[in-house]
């Protein structure tokens, strides 16, 4: 049988990895897919660089639409990124009856409903294993491996850039900007790195996992998003003293009232595997009612790890494209007419525990006032740590830090209590609040 023909749109970090791995492992991949898979046409704005990557024998063009228009191409791989031209190209490829593979989590998290509906109507596949956690086959695990389960929650380190930044800052004492530049040099960061550091990229990924896990539409606009740019070094230090590490987590949970969908820095107990995931590595913990807790760990970014996931999708499509569309695995795991209308909850309804840091006047009665106010709001305290004033503000300091860990609390209740605490004259700076996930 002739090889299946693939057209690549964009041959940057992930595209070049995809080309190289496919070529290097072509024989083994063919034995698995039952048919050869060949990239025969590539579109990139930088045609000279693209031609240098693929060599002679592969047609390189600047116009991505020429790839879509080529009747020989069976599968279009979109590796350009972003919501602009990439969206148009993916929709045009679907309209032309091509199967699509993409690593573009931003596109699917924001426009997934439209794209999956178009693919369903046309009977083509849109595969996106590389869009979440790079080389880790988490989409396959959620959509197929765990299909027996009622998924209860997912929590993951799903942005390599921010995990790399947090690890390097803690271990090597490097500053934020230096480490971010290194993450960009290594090809981990998005074209716009604010997507990484402000938690947007992780929110794209957890939105996709949430849809697959709970059978709800992709709802990026309902996700709560906080990044790592406001994290202070002393909170990382205090967290360590209390037996925790701070990680940027994507969390989605099924609770009585609906679905939690959130990205924010979180304290994770140091003894948990997730707390020990370092550098650009990713890890996703999934809890299902039948299987219990499972963990998926691996490289979440970079050229060949991400290519590994792109090629897995190419093999899946090669195996399945002749099957009746109704017998393929649904894009979002659940059949489109069997989606759930569970609501994504506002943050005020989220229940979790918290780390609070209050910069207070170092005088008698302050601790009692603060804990009394929390108790009055029904917020139960798990631990309190008070630093020596000298340690916090230098010798003779009249200020100190009060660190409080709470038990589970409704976020809306905590917000009200924090507003009252902030108004106390003895509270001298904005209160720091970081959520805490026990992951058990
Ligand atoms: N870099 C990584 O580690 C990972 C990236 N991704 C996703 O993979 C996608 C690609 O990312 P990278 O390879 O890192 O990006 P990149 O910036 O390295 O490559 C993008 C390529 O697309 C080309 N391009 C831009 N506009 C074009 C157009 N109109 N027509 C044809 N070519 C065009 C650029 O010249 C460039 O070569 C993005 O959606 C990204 O979010 C997903 C997982 C990991
Ligand atoms: N910028 C992303 C790349 C992979 O999705 C990350 O840092 O994880």
85 in a structural domain: yes
Domain ranges, residue 369: 351-436
205 is catalytic: yes
Same domain, 431 and 367: yes
Residue 397: its pLDDT value, please? Answer: 78
Same domain, 19 and 130: yes
CATH code of the domain containing 324: 3.40.50.720
Determine the Cα–Cα distance for residues 19 and 77; give it in Å rounded to an integer: 11
Q: Which atom from ligand 2 is nearest to the alpha carbon of 162? A: 7
The residue-averaged pLDDT of 24-50 equals 98
344 in a structural domain: no
Same domain, 145 and 275: yes
Tell me the CA distances in angstroms from 137 to 14, 170, 292, 359, 379, one per residue in order. 16, 29, 19, 44, 40
Q: How many CA atoms lie within 13 A of 431 on its CB side?
A: 24
Question: Residue 154: enclosing H or E segment and its boundaries?
Answer: strand 151-157
Same domain, 245 and 257: yes
Burial tier of 340 (Cβ tally within 10 Å: 0-12, 13-18, 19+): middle
- Has residue 393 got a pLDDT over 90? no
Determine the Cα–Cα distance for residues 47 and 60; give it in Å rounded to an integer: 6
Beta-carbon contacts of residue 140 (< 8 Å; ≥ 6 apart): 129, 312
345 in a structural domain: no
- Has residue 388 got a pLDDT over 90? no
Q: Where are the alpha helices (DSSP H) in 173-283?
A: 176-185, 194-197, 200-214, 233-241
Q: What is the mean pLDDT of the chain?
A: 96
Q: Which atom from ligand 2 is nearest to the alpha carbon of 133? A: 5
Ligand 2 neighbourhood includes 129 CB (under 6 angstroms): no
CATH code of the domain containing 167: 3.30.360.10
* Cα 107-111-115 angle, rounded to 5 deg: 100
Q: pLDDT tens across 223-253, in order? A: 999 999 999 988 998 999 999 999 999 999 9
Tell me the CA distances in angstroms from 28 to 31, 77, 127, one per residue in order. 5, 21, 21
Same domain, 162 and 39: no
Ligand 2 neighbourhood includes 159 CB (under 6 angstroms): yes
State how many domains the chain has: 3
Same domain, 185 and 47: no
Q: Which residues line ligand 1 (CB under 6 A)?
A: 9-15, 43-46, 64, 79-81, 85, 103-104, 130, 134, 187-188, 190-191, 301-302, 306
CATH code of the domain containing 378: 3.30.70.260
343 in a structural domain: no
Same domain, 198 and 235: yes
CA 80 to centroid of ligand 1, rounded, Å: 4
The residue-averaged pLDDT of 360-368 equals 93
392 in a structural domain: yes
Higher pLDDT, 266 or 174: 266
Same domain, 23 and 58: yes
Q: pLDDT tens across 152-186, in order? A: 999 999 999 999 999 998 888 888 999 999 999 99
Same domain, 183 and 68: no
């Amino acid at each position: 049988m002739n090889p299946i023909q693939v057209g690549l749109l964009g041959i940057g970090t992930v595209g070049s990895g995809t080309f190289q791995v496919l070529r290097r492992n072509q024989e083994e991949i063919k034995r698995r897919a039952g048919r050869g898979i060949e990239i025969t046409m590539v579109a990139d704005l930088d045609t000279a660089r693209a031609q240098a990557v693929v060599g002679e024998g592969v047609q390189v063009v600047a116009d991505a639409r020429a790839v879509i228009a080529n009747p020989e191409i069976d599968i279009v791989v979109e590796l350009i990124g972003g919501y602009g031209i990439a969206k148009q190209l993916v929709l045009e490829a679907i309209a032309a009856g091509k199967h699509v593979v993409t690593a573009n989590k931003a596109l699917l998290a924001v426009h997934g409903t439209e794209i999956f509906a178009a693919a369903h109507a046309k009977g083509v596949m849109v595969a996106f294993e590389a869009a979440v956690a790079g080389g880790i086959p988490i989409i396959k695990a959620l959509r197929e491996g765990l299909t027996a389960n009622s998924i209860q929650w997912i929590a993951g380190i799903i942005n390599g850039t921010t995990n790399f930044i947090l690890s390097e800052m803690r271990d090597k004492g490097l500053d934020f900007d230096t480490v971010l530049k290194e993450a960009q040099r290594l090809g981990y960061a998005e074209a716009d790195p604010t997507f990484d550091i402000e938690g947007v990229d992780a929110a794209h990924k957890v939105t996709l996992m949430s849809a697959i896990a709970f059978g709800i539409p992709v709802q990026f606009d309902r996700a709560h998003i906080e990044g790592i740019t406001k994290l202070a070094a002393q909170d990382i230090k205090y967290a360590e003293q209390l037996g925790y590490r701070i990680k940027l987590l994507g969390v989605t949970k099924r609770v009585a009232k609906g679905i939690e969908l959130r990205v924010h820095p979180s304290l994770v107990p140091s003894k948990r595997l997730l707390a020990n995931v370092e550098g650009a590595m990713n890890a996703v913990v999934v809890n299902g009612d039948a299987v219990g807790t499972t963990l998926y760990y691996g490289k979440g970014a970079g050229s060949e790890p991400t290519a590994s996931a792109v090629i897995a999708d190419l093999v899946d499509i090669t195996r399945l494209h002749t099957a009746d569309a109704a017998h393929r695995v649904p894009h979002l795991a659940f059949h489109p007419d069997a989606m759930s209308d569970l609501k994504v909850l506002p943050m005020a309804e989220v229940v979790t525990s918290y780390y609070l840091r209050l910069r207070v006047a170092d005088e008698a009665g302050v601790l009692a006032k603060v804990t009394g106010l929390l108790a009055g709001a029904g917020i139960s305290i798990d631990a309190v740590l008070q630093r020596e004033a000298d340690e916090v503000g230098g010798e003779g300091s009249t200020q100190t830090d009060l660190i409080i860990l709470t038990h589970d609390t409704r976020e809306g209740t905590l917000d009200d209590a924090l507003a009252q605490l902030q108004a106390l004259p003895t509270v001298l700076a904005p209160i720091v609040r970081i959520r805490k996930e026990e992951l058990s």
